[in-house]
Structure 1
Amino acid sequence: MTKSSILFLISAAVLVLVISVFSLSPASPDGPARRKAVVVELFTSESCSSCPPADDLLGRLRGAPAAGGAEVIPLEFHVDYWNHLGWQDRFSSSAFTSRQEMYATRFRLDGPYTPQMVVDGGQEFIGSSSREAREAIARAVVRPEEAEVQLSFSAAGKLSVRVKGLIPGAAGEVMLAVTEDNLSTSVGGGENSGHVLHHAAVVRELRTLGQLGQLKDGRFETEAAIQPVRDWKLNDLRVVVFVQPASRNARPRSPGPQCPEAAED
């Protein structure tokens, strides 16, 4: 990617501490006033028959009006623990499974399950429940913003990340996610065999940019190189930068992964 593929700011707001979103495709930098961002994570799998309704819901949440004028920032994580059920999910990653296991520990669950939604890192529920999603977003949007992030290109063409307003000494991690929209898969095996599944905001890459525990002035700065893989579509990519509490190592508890029926509401 060259510097001519400059990132244009879409929004900047807070997730847990702070979040900012860029698009990797050219767009007008002028837009509506900044809205409070609420991150909605979906843990899903193409091998789980209960997941397609949740995948569809995540896509609708981003474009639908939300309580308090919230801007929903979707992150669709594909886990890998259902890949033995007759279909290999090409978007799945053990790293995304580990992230869900962290939430299983945080929420004191028996283990991970799909589909699962997590709103702003603090509320979880069956990912196909539109009612619970709307209610969770409404609760999250009233949380005060605690910090501000600024993203730009450095002279070297790297993404420059600046965070200010953080609580000095507070433990946390600055995270970067690259997502891709408008993806679909014709499933040839497993529970969803014969169906075409559509996905939005699929997380293609997730990495830690830095730790916050040693900050004394409430500021964090770093640079990151963004290197799209050959089969990623530039026009459908976004970069999300957010701060989360320090993660803890976790393992799923018995009885292990579950795939509950899709919620009805």
Structure 2
Amino acid sequence: MPVVVELFTSEGCSSCPSADATLRELESSQPVAGAEVIALGQHVDYWNRLGWKDQFSDPTYTARQRQYAARFGSGSYTPQAVVQGREELVGSRRADLLAAIGRAARAPQASVRVAGGLGDQPLRVRVASLPAGTGPAQVLLFITESGLATQVSGGENAGALLRHATVVRSLQPLGTVAPGGTFEASPTPALAAGWNHAHLRAVVVVQAERTRQVVGAAVQPLGGELARQ
């Protein structure tokens, strides 16, 4: 079962590199039986005023983290991992992450299919069969890039070469699927010229509007063979 692990992180945070390393390892090794770990590294922007501007940061991801903070009553902090929208924890705690991933993999999931997207082709997205009691759910499109690293020259990580878990490059809402209904869309991802297209993936996430729980996900490579980190 796909299990989405969101990591809210920053290049300006000295506690974050260990969480990035943990998530990179989990995505590469896939150590939880029955679970496909899908990593979504989201770089928040509130560290940017403290000596280093994170080139991957975006207020969109800060706003998403705040939505989770309201859901969990946890406040926003880095490095924060959110597993399938169900549990939040410090992102460097590998054993706790494994346990949360295992629990999430046992939950019912919707049918999510995504295809296409190579070259200038649109993606083909289809969502059906929401789990009972989900209520209306958002369908979200994340574009991610793997294999990214930054030589940091300021802030808490000055002098360090940071190797990141898979980074979210963009986030786009596609629409809403109703209980008992189906959803179809054919978005054309906007891919920047500076991104390494061989390392890009489209990740479709279905998230319950009321509980913020992720009830389905699917992945589609966008250019060539996906390189493992």
TM range (shorter): 0.7 to 0.9
CA change 1:132–1:216 in 2 (3 A) is: closer
What is the identity, as a one-letter code, of the residue corresponding to 1:70? A
Which region of structure 1 is more displaced relative to structure 2, 163-172 or 64-73?
A: 163-172
Summarize deviations over 1:120-168 as a string: whole Å, max 9, x none.
10011111111111111111111123x21222339x9311211111369
CA contact (8 A) 1:160 1:222 kept: yes
CA contact (8 A) 1:66 1:138 kept: no
Is 1:187–2:152 an aligned residue pair? Answer: yes
What is the identity, as a one-letter code, of the residue corresponding to 1:86? G
For residue 87 of structure 1, the aligned residue among 33, 41, 52 is 52
- Aligned equivalent of 2:84: 120
Matches within 5 A, 1:36-55: 36-55=1-20
- For 1:187 and 1:130, locate their aligned partners in 2 and report how far apart those are by CA, in whole Å: 25
Is 1:174–2:133 an aligned residue pair? Answer: no
What is the identity, as a one-letter code, of the residue corresponding to 1:73? I
Q: CA deviation at 1:172?
A: 1.5
For residue 134 of structure 1, the aligned residue among 98, 110, 113 is 98
Structure 1: 4+ residue segments shifted above 4 A: none
Q: CA deviation at 1:216?
A: 6.5
Q: CA deviation at 1:224?
A: 0.3
CA change 1:167–1:200 in 2 (3 A) is: closer
- Aligned equivalent of 2:34: 69
Of structures 1 and 2, the larger Rg is shown by 1
TM-score (norm 1): 0.74
Is 1:148–2:148 an aligned residue pair? Answer: no
CA contact (8 A) 1:38 1:137 kept: yes
TM-score (norm 2): 0.86
What is the identity, as a one-letter code, of the residue corresponding to 2:50? L
- For 1:138 and 1:91, locate their aligned partners in 2 and report how far apart those are by CA, in whole Å: 29
What is the identity, as a one-letter code, of the residue corresponding to 1:159? L
- For 2:157 and 2:105, locate their aligned partners in 1 and report how far apart those are by CA, in whole Å: 35
Is 1:224–2:190 an aligned residue pair? Answer: no
- What is the aligned length? 208
**RMSD of aligned alpha carbons:** 1.9
Which region of structure 1 is more displaced relative to structure 2, 224-233 or 169-178?
A: 169-178
- For 2:21 and 2:156, locate their aligned partners in 1 and report how far apart those are by CA, in whole Å: 17
Q: What residue ranges of structure 2 are gaps of 5+ in the alignment? A: 212-229
What is the identity, as a one-letter code, of the residue corresponding to 1:127? G
Identity score, percent: 47
CA contact (8 A) 1:102 1:247 kept: no
Is 1:57–2:22 an aligned residue pair? Answer: yes
Q: What residue ranges of structure 1 are gaps of 5+ in the alignment? A: 1-35, 249-265
